[in-house]
Copies of this chain bind each other. A is one copy, B any other.
Amino acid sequence: MHLRRDDGRSPQRGPAPRAGSPRRPCQVGRPVPPLDDEPASRRRCPIQTPLIRQGRIGEFELIRCLRRATAIPHGVQASVLAGIGDDAAILKPRPGRVILATTDLLAERVHFDLAFTSYRQLGYKAAMANLSDIAAMGGVPRFLLIALALTSRETSRDVEAMYEGIRAACNPAGVAVVGGDMSASRTDLFLAVMVLGDAARRGALRRSGARAGDRLYVTGTLGDAQAGLELLQARKRTNSYLITRHLMPTARLKEAQHLADGRLASAAIDVSDGLAGDIRHICEESGVGCLIDARKLPLSPQLRTHARARKRDPIAYALSGGEDYELLFTVPPAKVARVEALIRRRLLRATPIGLITPRRQGLRLIGIDGSVRPLTAKGYEHRLG
């Protein structure tokens, strides 16, 4: 963990951030119910002034605070030989497993808006998006590192809140926060999260394994996060389910484990850019086409209500809405019965939505009226929220 003393006051030729620039309001009273976690006051740092202006002062206090805030979950303790506080974390791999590594960067005013995202939700979502990448590989997430670039607006309380959110995402999954970096940013807040996981040597799910004839499935429901973002942008708190789906998504770790353990899926990806965007990745990497049945896309009742009120097609949300973090996976014909059995036993909440086809047939969609046409919907373009 590096905690740098950059304070952004060095001689600059670019414009300095205006000292009097209005602070974007940060939602203190959270728009969704608080996480079921121990009270923030238990881990509160003594430092409450804006962090970056502190310079050297408080550096060691902050390290101590973060060490407390990122206590290693019980199950993974033996694997963390050194966590926060050195040049690098020292981690023990599990014998016979391969390592999975992924990173995701979130930028203020591009991926999130502090007007309707609390720091805690932000930390939670940044962590969860990375856990979801590990899920999409059929892996078990184990360790997380986070690099923060803080503006002069963030206080140490805000930083703590971000870490609380990260911890709330990590703890149930048995993931340890083992390191990171903290430095200054001139205008916007940035979070770069890295997650390390592991998987059985031959159990990792690639994007490239889909073959013509495989059945296409997706977990959960689609389009909810996009609808939640619209509500937040319209300042409407009318549907907490959709808003929670946007602000605090859930990585499908258990589902991924069922698929990996039984070696049931031939390919997988998490739906972060929207179904239409992410199926393209599978098709491109696997060299195949697909036929998606719009009539089978899993839609929540809340999304249907939302779309009706906006006089929009709920299918469009399901195809183009991003950040649902559901798993999109393909199943070879010989394994469909086992997947269906898991679904019946409610061990896997997933829906068959189409087929993998030969590449020459391209990406196609069966519309609500039963007609087949090219899949033209685009993936999610923006991530503000």
Q: Which residues of A contact B (CB under 8 A)?
A: 2, 4-14, 24, 55-56, 60, 81-82, 85-93, 95, 97-105, 107-111, 113, 115, 133-134, 136-137, 139, 143, 145-149, 178-181, 183-188, 190, 192, 194-197, 199, 204, 206-208, 233, 268-270, 272-273, 277, 284-285, 378-384
Please tell me if the beta carbons of A110 and B5 are within 8 angstroms of each other in the complex: no
Give A160 to B192 CA distance when docked, in angstroms.
21
Closest 8 CB pairs of A and B: A192-B192, A10-B382, A88-B102, A105-B147, A87-B136, A88-B100, A91-B99, A93-B93
Please tell me if the beta carbons of B110 and A186 are within 8 angstroms of each other in the complex: yes
Known: A145-B194, A196-B196, A379-B5. A87 touches B102 (CB 8 A): yes
The distance from the CB of A144 to the nearest CB of chain B, in whole angstroms, is 10
Residue of B nearest to A148 (CB): B105
Give A181 to B187 CA distance when docked, in angstroms.
21
Known: A381-B5, A382-B6, A383-B6. A90 touches B99 (CB 8 A): yes
The distance from the CB of A188 to the nearest CB of chain B, in whole angstroms, is 6
**Residues of B with C-beta under 8 A to A145:** 101-103, 194
Give A199 to B92 CA distance when docked, in angstroms.
10
The distance from the CB of A43 to the nearest CB of chain B, in whole angstroms, is 21
Residue of B nearest to A141 (CB): B88
Please tell me if the beta carbons of A98 and B105 are within 8 angstroms of each other in the complex: no
Work out how many copies of this chain go into the complex. 2
Known: A6-B382, A284-B60. A81 touches B98 (CB 8 A): yes
**Residues of B with C-beta under 8 A to A270:** 87
The distance from the CB of A17 to the nearest CB of chain B, in whole angstroms, is 10
The distance from the CB of A229 to the nearest CB of chain B, in whole angstroms, is 10
**Residues of B with C-beta under 8 A to A109:** 8, 12, 14, 186
Residue of B nearest to A86 (CB): B207
Please tell me if the beta carbons of B86 and A285 are within 8 angstroms of each other in the complex: yes
Please tell me if the beta carbons of A186 and B187 are within 8 angstroms of each other in the complex: yes
Most buried by B among A99, A136, A184, A381: A99
**Residues of B with C-beta under 8 A to A103:** 145-147, 179-181, 192, 194
Please tell me if the beta carbons of B183 and A101 are within 8 angstroms of each other in the complex: no
Please tell me if the beta carbons of B87 and A92 are within 8 angstroms of each other in the complex: no
Please tell me if the beta carbons of A179 and B107 are within 8 angstroms of each other in the complex: no
**Residues of B with C-beta under 8 A to A185:** 107, 110, 188, 190
**Residues of B with C-beta under 8 A to A13:** 113, 115
Give A110 to B181 CA distance when docked, in angstroms.
14
Give A4 to B183 CA distance when docked, in angstroms.
24
Please tell me if the beta carbons of B101 and A91 are within 8 angstroms of each other in the complex: yes
Give A60 to B268 CA distance when docked, in angstroms.
18
**Residues of B with C-beta under 8 A to A272:** 2
**Residues of B with C-beta under 8 A to A82:** 204, 206
**Residues of B with C-beta under 8 A to A134:** 87-88
Please tell me if the beta carbons of A88 and B133 are within 8 angstroms of each other in the complex: yes
